[in-house]
Amino acid sequence: TAVSIRIRRLREGPTYSGALVLVPGEIRLRHARRLLRQAPFICFIAPERDVAYASADARIWRAPSGSAVLSLEEALTYLGAEGEWAVERPPVRSTVPRLLAAATGTREPDWLLLARLKPAEKRSLDLIGDWPWVRADHLAALLGVERRRVSQLTASLEHHDLLTDHRIEGRRRFVLSDRGLALLARRDRASVAAARKRWSAEPLDPEAPRGWRNLRGGRTRQLLRHLVHTEAVHGFLAALADQARSNGSELGQVEPPHRASRYFRFQDRLRSVQPDAFGVLRCDGRAQPFFLEWERRAIRPSTMAAKLAPYLRYYSSKRPLEDHGAIPLVLIAFEDELAADHFLRVAREEQVRTGVSLPLRVSDRSALEARGPLGYAWRTISRAAAGSVFG
C-alpha cells in the first residue's frame, strides 16, 4: 500500500523526465513494476538492499517492463541527459554550538564543573564548605598535605570561582563563594537558596567594609563573629589530624556542627546535643567516636551545669551506642586550666546527682598546645593527673 501511494504521488505530481525508484524487498519490487508500467516517464526500479550494497556499475536497475538489467550509469543515460541535476542545499546547522569557554575567556558553565574538578579539589571544596573561614595551615592538616599543595588546590578552585580567600587577622582564610555553595547544594539535592541564606560569604552591602556585620549568611556571620572559637575548633581538629597521622592512627571522619548534632527523645520531649564537632579516630582497627566542645562561655557553675545537661540526657539512654557503634567520648576543652578545674567539679556533682556516667575528657588550651590532642592532656572526674584521650 505504501508503494502504491508513493507511486500515485509520483504519477500525479510534477512532470518528470525520469525517475529512479527504490523499493524495499522482492515482493514490493514486482508490485512497483506493475504499477509503473503506465507511468508517463521513464523509470528504473531497484531493491533498496542492492542499491545500498552495490557499486555504481552493478547491474541492478530494471525498467517496469522488459527484462533488461542496467547499471546506474546506463540507467542515467536513458533518463535524459538534458536538464539539470537537482542540487542539494548544503547542510546548515540550525543552531551553531556556542564557543568553548576557553575561546571566549568566560568561565565554564556550571554543569561542567563536576566533571572538571579533580577528586582532591572536591575534597578541599567539601572541607572548606564544612569549615568556613578555615585557615590555610589548618586546611593543610585536615587534607594531610603540604602548604604548596593547598595553594595549588585552592588556586584551582578560586580559578573556577568556587571559593574566595580573605585576609583576616593576618591569616589567609577560605570560604566558599555563592557558586561553590550552589555546586554542593545541587550535588546534595538541597536548596541552593537555603544554603546561601546560611552560608553565603557575600557582603550584604558591597560598599560597606567587610566584617561579620556585613555578611549575607547567618552561620558564616556567626562563625566570623566568634572567630576565636571557630579557629580554636579548627586548630584542635588540625592538630588531631596531624598527630594521628604521625603516630599511625587516623582521623577518619570529621563532621561540622550542623552534622554533629544528635536529636533524641527524652521524657517525651525532643532534645538534642549540639557539639562543635564530631569525629571518629581510627587506631589499630578500633574506631573511637568523639564529640568536641570548645568552651568559652561556661564559666559560672550554673552555666557549666546547663552545658552538661544535654549530654547527661543523651548518655542516660542507649542512643550513644546505637548511633555510633561505640560509645563516643565527650571531649571538652577550655581556654584556661582554672575553668577546666571548676568544670570537673561541677561534672562530678552532676553525675552523682543524676546517676548518669559520662565518658568525659576535659582539657585546656595550654595543655593541648603543649602536648597535643593525643598527648597526656586530658583529665577525667576520677583522675586528677592528665592522661591520654583513651586512658
Partner DNA sequence: ACGTGAACTACTAGGGTCTA
Partner DNA sequence: TAGACCCTAGTAGTTCACGT
Q: How far is the CB of 132 from DNA (least distance, A)?
A: 16
Q: How far is the CB of 235 from DNA (least distance, A)?
A: 13
Residues within window 109-128 making contact with DNA, judged by CB under 7 A: 118-121
Q: 315: which 3 cell numbers?
A: 548518655
Give the whole-angstrom CA distance, residue 161 versus residue 136: 18
Name which of 165 and 202 has its Cβ closer to DNA.
165
Stretch that binds DNA, among 54-62, 129-137, 221-229, 250-258 (CB under 7 A): 129-137
CB of 67 to DNA, least distance (A): 50
Applying CB under 7 A, does 135 fall inside the site for DNA? Answer: yes
Cβ proximity to DNA, 156 vs 316, nearer residue = 156
Residue labelled with grid coordinates 544535654: 310
Instruction: For the CB of residue 275, give the shortest distance to DNA in the complex, in Å.
Output: 27
Instruction: Map the footprint of DNA across residues 143-202, applying CB under 7 A.
Output: 143-149, 151-153, 155, 165, 170-172
On the 0-12 / 13-18 / 19+ scale of CB atoms within 10 A, 138 is: buried
Under the binding rule (CB under 7 A), the answer on residue 31 touching DNA is no
For residue 332, the one-letter residue type is: I
Residues 300-319 that bind DNA (CB under 7 A): none
> Considering beta carbons, is residue 37 or 166 the nearer one to DNA?
166
Least spacing, CB of residue 374 vs DNA, in Å: 20
152 vs 316, beta carbon nearer DNA: 152
Closer CB to DNA, 11 or 171, in the complex: 171
Residue whose CB is less far from DNA, 36 or 201:
201
Least separation in angstroms between CB 146 and DNA: 3
Q: Are strands 171-176 and 163-168 parallel, antiparallel or unpaired?
A: antiparallel
**Cβ nearer to DNA, comparing 170 with 285:** 170
What is the number of alpha carbons within 13 Å of residue 37 lying toward its C-beta? 8
Pull the grid cell for residue 78. 536513458
Residue 293 has which C-alpha cell?
A: 566542645
What is the smallest separation between the CB atom of 278 and DNA, expressed in angstroms?
A: 23
Contact residue for DNA among 136, 260, 299, 305 (CB under 7 A): 136
Give least dist CB 243 to DNA, A.
Answer: 16
Min. distance of Cβ 123 from DNA in angstroms?
Answer: 8
Q: Which is nearer to DNA, 49 or 172 (CB)?
A: 172
> Which CB contacts under 8 angstroms, 24+ apart, belong to 252-259?
252/279, 252/280, 252/281, 252/282, 252/287, 253/279, 253/280, 254/130, 254/142, 254/278, 254/279, 255/130, 255/279, 256/130, 256/131, 258/219, 259/130
Choose the binding region for DNA from 135-143, 325-333, 352-360, 369-377 (rule: CB under 7 A).
Answer: 135-143
Q: CB of 139: closest distance to DNA in angstroms?
A: 10
Cell numbers standing for residue 88: 542539494
231 binds DNA (CB under 7 A): no
* Cell numbers placing 199: 552560608
| Contacts for 368 with CB less than 8 Å, ≥ 6 apart | 236, 239, 333, 377
Return the number of the residue (152 or 388) whose C-beta is nearest DNA. Answer: 152
For DNA, how many residues bind (rule: CB under 7 A)?
Answer: 22
Segment near DNA (CB under 7 A); pick from 131-139, 237-245, 356-364, 370-378: 131-139
CB closer to DNA out of 161 and 165: 165
Binding residues for DNA, per CB under 7 A?
118-121, 135-137, 143-149, 151-153, 155, 165, 170-172
